[in-house]
Amino acid sequence: MTGTAPAKSDRPSDGGTATPDGRVELPPGAIPADSRFANADLYPVPVAERRWTTYNFAALWVGMAVNIPSWTLASGLIALGMDWKQAVLTIALANVIVLLPMLLTGHAGPKYGIPFPVLARASFGVVGANLPALLRGLVACAWFGIQTWIGGQSIFFLAGKIFGEGSWWVLAGETFGYPWTQWLSFLLFFLIEVVVIVRGMDAVRHLENWAAPLMLLGALALLWWIADKAGGFGPLLDQPSQLGWGADFWPVFFPALMGMIGFWSTLSLNIPDFTRFGAGQRSQVWGQTLGLPTTMAAFALLSVLVTSGSQAVYGEPVWDPSQLAARMDSTVGVLFALFVVLMATLSTNIAANLVSPAYDLSNLAPRLITFRTGALLACVIGVVIFPWKLIENPSVYIFTWLGTVGGLLGTVGGILIADYWLVRRTRLELADLYRPDGVYWYSGGWNWRALVAFAAGGTLAVGGSSSAPGSGPFPADGLIPVLEPLVDYGWAVGLSSSALLYLVLTAAFRPRGAGRKTAAGPQ
């Protein structure tokens, strides 16, 4: 899909040819055509096909960031006692922080044209890369289920407005706690996603390009409507913080910050899946910088303003934009608003939650699983595990789900960044990433240094996870009680500790070929 199969030849002695702007391309035959670690979707993207611009990356982030879970992030923080200013500040700061590892891991995409699981082979080993890839892929599958359910709800509400509140569509009999028409809506949205993803990455790019401005327009239209209806913004903006800015605030702020970082920590790993199509480093750096933190901060502020207006109008805050849109008096306005919500969910779910597991599962068995096959498997997994239950409780959603996942993925990110930037100085033996006899084979395809760093960093990051009695899956005093104080800083602890330990182990037990020279420069 993203490359052409190379012809068989003797193994080349270099790591590829670097263009004047630093992008690297392999000569024909560098990767054996019969390699069991490669397929057309995992091959480096040819330089001529790396053409995503700054707008493409900015639009990608607008398309991913504008969605219902992002909209309701502020509500979870306000439910924890913050006022709207504290909630927006926490979300904005978290996205500025997570942008840095996003740019660092994204660097390998435009330079080498490789996806995340192939980049992970440099640090974890050609076989060992399946460990972080599957961790990332399963998280994406869970999010896919959440977003698909939300998309189905949008279709259900949209059709309800078309057919009328007393129609058979709305009053349909329940199956497993929901009207069967809502299950039908869920299935329809699921099928729409399948149609898009099987058409490949070009279809994803086109979807994000035109969906992004539509979604921004829809969000602003929702703000204008509720402000006009309310005659201003309601008491939510005047509500004082229950925590203040003193001793009560910080114990909530730091775990909430880690949770907000965890929201996009998944993409900080697999962002090379997208940047591999970049026209250069400038495109991915500026596109992501303009697209991620600005969109998330503005969207959080927008959600607070709209919800405050809804409180003034309806006497209660309505955080779900689908529910709010359904209350509009104008049928045309309702249809437009719900269509925007539908497109927002579609664009987010395709890019954020299907591209990654498609590559990750393909990396597991490249000769058997293509990008399209991996995407279809991810769709099935995402539905079977019913992960949307994670968002039923804001406390569990932020602390248990986002915090725990963020800690583990931060651990992987620390190893990737330490290996790529500090050990190899961004220089890779590109062909060896696809070979069982290259410098990234380590011991049987596994780099034990990365495994030890991952285990240790993951233990420090999430080993102390605890839950209030009856409110979560962890013991009240933590899995490992002595580590409980670290959980509030799980992502930072995981990233920093794993990076440091990996560097120490690599320096003490230098792997074969760590100092080799390549055509692209020294490792």
156 or 504, which is more confident?
Answer: 504
Give the whole-number percent of the chain exceeding pLDDT 70. Answer: 90
For residue 143, report the phi and psi dihedrals to the nearest 5 degrees: -65, -35
As a whole number of angstroms, the distance between CA 94 and CA 256 comes to 9
Which pLDDT tens digit goes with each residue over 377-400?
A: 999 988 887 766 665 655 565 556
As a whole number of angstroms, the distance between CA 122 and CA 128 comes to 10
* pLDDT at res. 454: 97
pLDDT class of 236 with cuts at 50, 70, 90: low
* pLDDT at res. 7: 41
Residue 50 gets the label, from left (phi > 0), alpha (psi -120 to 50) or beta, of: beta
Q: Which H or E element spans position 482? A: none
As a whole number of angstroms, the distance between CA 64 and CA 287 comes to 13
For residue 518, report the phi and psi dihedrals to the nearest 5 degrees: -130, 170
243 or 133, which is more confident?
Answer: 133
Tokens 């991810």 sit at which residue? 378
Residue 85 gets the label, from left (phi > 0), alpha (psi -120 to 50) or beta, of: alpha
Among 34-48, 103-117, 150-164, 493-507, the minimum mean pLDDT is found in 150-164
Q: What is the DSSP string of 260-314?
A: HHHHHHHHHHHTHHHHTTBS-HHHHHHHHHHHHHHHHHHHHHHHHHHHHHHHHHH
Q: Which range is most confident: 229-243, 301-315, 334-348, 415-429?
A: 415-429
Q: Is the pLDDT of residue 6 over 50?
A: no
Mean pLDDT of the chain: 83
Which pLDDT tens digit goes with each residue over 85-120?
A: 888 899 999 999 999 999 999 999 999 999 999 999
As a whole number of angstroms, the distance between CA 367 and CA 117 comes to 15
Q: Is the pLDDT of residue 331 over 90?
A: no
Which pLDDT tens digit goes with each residue over 507-517?
A: 999 886 554 44
Cβ-contact 498, 132 below 8 angstroms: no
* Beta-sheet pairing, 178-179 with 517-518: unpaired
Which pLDDT tens digit goes with each residue over 270-326?
A: 999 999 999 999 999 999 999 999 989 988 888 888 887 887 788 777 777 777 777
* pLDDT at res. 520: 42
As a whole number of angstroms, the distance between CA 15 and CA 34 comes to 19
One-letter amino acid at 159 equals A
SS3 assignment, position 171: coil
As a whole number of angstroms, the distance between CA 274 and CA 480 comes to 37
pLDDT class of 226 with cuts at 50, 70, 90: confident
Tokens 């070979």 sit at which residue? 435
Q: Is the pLDDT of residue 371 over 50?
A: yes
One-letter amino acid at 49 equals E
As a whole number of angstroms, the distance between CA 67 and CA 224 comes to 19
* pLDDT at res. 156: 87
Cβ-contact 440, 122 below 8 angstroms: yes
Q: How many CB atoms lie within 10 A of CB 329?
A: 8
Q: How many CB atoms lie within 10 A of CB 109?
A: 26
As a whole number of angstroms, the distance between CA 47 and CA 51 comes to 8
Averaged pLDDT, 123-152: 88
Residues 6 or more apart whose Cβ sits within 8 Å of residue 119: 105, 108, 112, 272, 416, 420, 433
SS3 assignment, position 209: helix
Give the whole-number percent of the chain exceeding pLDDT 90. Answer: 35
* pLDDT at res. 341: 78
One-letter amino acid at 400 equals T
Q: How many CB atoms lie within 10 A of CB 374?
A: 26
* pLDDT at res. 282: 94
Q: What is the DSSP letter of 319?
A: -
Helix-strand-coil split of the chain, %, nearest 5:
65, 5, 30
Q: How many CB atoms lie within 10 A of CB 99?
A: 21
263 or 87, which is more confident?
Answer: 87
* pLDDT at res. 441: 95
One-letter amino acid at 58 equals A
Structure tokens at 22: 């630093």
CA dihedral 366, 198, 275, 448 (to 10 degrees): -30
Task: Give Cα 342 to chain centroid, integer Å.
Answer: 19
* pLDDT at res. 397: 57
Q: What is the DSSP string of 71-117?
A: HTHHHHHHHTT--HHHHHHHHHHHHHHHHHHHHHHHTHHHHH---HH
Among 40-54, 358-372, 426-440, 480-494, the minimum mean pLDDT is found in 480-494
pLDDT class of 401 with cuts at 50, 70, 90: low
Tell me whether residue 469 is exposed, middle or buried, using C-beta atoms within 10 angstroms of its C-beta: 0 to 12, 13 to 18, 19 or more: exposed
Averaged pLDDT, 15-25: 79
CA dihedral 399, 402, 404, 410 (to 10 degrees): -130
As a whole number of angstroms, the distance between CA 258 and CA 403 comes to 6
* pLDDT at res. 346: 84
pLDDT class of 215 with cuts at 50, 70, 90: confident
Helices 130-163, 116-124: axis angle to 10 degrees equals 160
* pLDDT at res. 465: 80
Q: Is the pLDDT of residue 233 over 60?
A: yes
* pLDDT at res. 1: 47
pLDDT class of 521 with cuts at 50, 70, 90: very low
